[in-house]
Structure 1
Amino acid sequence: MEHVEKMVEVNCPIRTVYNQWTQFEDFPHFMDGVKEVRQLDDTHVHWRADIWGKDKEWDAEITEQEPDKRISWKSVSGAPNAGTVRFEPIDADHTRVRLVLAYEPEGAMENVGDAMGLFSARVENSVRDFKKFIESRGQETGAWRGEVDKSRPV
């Protein structure tokens, strides 16, 4: 598994930034290569993306979600990947977003792209483009404020 960590400071309040990140179906607006994201239910999301010229699809399960703090997920089909995005208040109008991804490159092209740092650059562009997206709007497109904790027994 390869790991990438990227951070960006967003000039919006933490509630606005967190709320926008919960709008997974908007990700194609700011994530390069992501063609479609469908929210299947409160904890399952279907992704379709172009990865190094190949159309890939996978399902992810949200394993932790705490409003204004963090969202964690893992793939349940397709290429193995997992991650956490954390939201940290800097002050009333500024938020630090810290994204950590773990993924397993599949095939020669993905391994070459990973070796050249292309995946890391794509993730960097995604967090920077998220910042531009939310700052240009000034408000979120929607919000989901529920909590998820898959580690908690039912």
Structure 2
Amino acid sequence: MSVTAAVPPSTSTMSSPATSSSSSSSSILDLNARRKSISTSSSSFISTHRFKCIISRSFRSISYPSPIRIRHLSPVMEWQDCTVKMEVDVPTSVAYKCYSDHGAIPEWMPFISSVKMVEDKPDLSRWSLKYKAFGQDLEYSWLARHMQPTPNQKLHWRSVEGLPNRGAVRFFPKGPSSCIIQLTVSYEVPLLLVPVASALKPFFENLLAQGLERFAIFAKSYSADVHLNDL
């Protein structure tokens, strides 16, 4: 007679009802916790999204000033006005005629090297200046437009390119055989001469006065020649 011993069931393959019930309860709790976490995250996301939308609308509603435009201004150049007067022993008509001969100006104006009328344009002339001063060999040129003159009273001009300048010559009769000439020249101080701008005006006025002195001799010689030709 053989006896078969009863082998108890393995604890690794079988669980007690209590253990199964505990595991089921734990799973339910974990699921609820996850649902709660998801719900909290969703609420947090929605709140954050709403906050961003409110902030975005607020910034859009703010009116910002237009950007300031910075204007780059050109440096203001200095202009100088020089005026000289001189009595000339010739009639006003003779002085006016002599000064109207632009091609002859280099003969009596010390710093003007040439004046050439533009072909087919009698109201335009090209001027060249050459002079040594302030330790520099100065050379400038410009194209001048001669404005409508007043016969025996006024000649005036202005540059249209090159060295900026303008000027006028006025003739005042003093008697039948003499007149007073007033010469005014305005110019933009060249960049090279800005450091000596304060000394430039009296220097240039002295040159203009020298020019008128030589013009007086030139005009008197011209008047004598005209008188001889009339004999």
User: TM-score, normalised on structure 1?
Assistant: 0.83
Which runs of structure 2 are paired with 1:53-68 in the superposition (5 Å)?
Answer: 53-68=137-152
Measured in 2, the distance between the counterparts of 1:60 and 1:80 equals 9
Q: Deviations over 1:41-60 (max 9, x none)?
A: 32111101114422211110
Paired position in structure 2 for 1:98: 182
Equivalent position amino acid for 1:72 in 2: H
Counterpart pick for 2:161 among 77, 80, 88:
77
Identity %: 22
Cα deviation, residue 97, structure 1: 0.6
Counterpart pick for 1:49 among 87, 107, 129:
129
Measured in 2, the distance between the counterparts of 1:95 and 1:110 equals 36
Cα deviation, residue 63, structure 1: 1.6
Which runs of structure 2 are paired with 1:74-153 in the superposition (5 Å)?
Answer: 74-109=158-193, 112=196, 115-116=199-200, 117-139=202-224
Measured in 2, the distance between the counterparts of 1:46 and 1:24 equals 10
Equivalent position amino acid for 1:21 in 2: Y
Q: Name the structure where strand makes up a greater proportion of residues.
A: 1
Cα deviation, residue 110, structure 1: 6.0
Q: Deviations over 1:36-80 (max 9, x none)?
A: 101223211110111442221111001231110101110111111
RMSD of equivalent CA atoms: 1.9
- Alignment of 1:35 with 2:119, yes or no, is no
Distance 1:132 1:110, change over 3 A: farther
Cα deviation, residue 121, structure 1: 0.9
Cα deviation, residue 28, structure 1: 0.7
Which of these two proteins has the greater Rg computed from alpha carbons? 2
Greater alpha carbon shift after TM alignment, 85-94 vs 131-140: 131-140
Paired position in structure 2 for 1:148: none
Divergent runs of 4+, >3 A: 108-111
**Count of residues in correspondence between the two structures:** 141
Contact 1:64 1:70 in 2 (8 A): no
Cα deviation, residue 127, structure 1: 1.3
Measured in 1, the distance between the counterparts of 2:109 and 2:209 equals 10
- Gaps (5+ residues) in structure 1? 142-154
Which runs of structure 2 are paired with 1:3-14 in the superposition (5 Å)?
Answer: 3-14=81-92
- Gaps (5+ residues) in structure 2? 1-78, 227-231
**Looking at both structures, which has the greater relative contact order when contacts are Cα pairs under 8 Å and sequence separation is at least 6?**
1
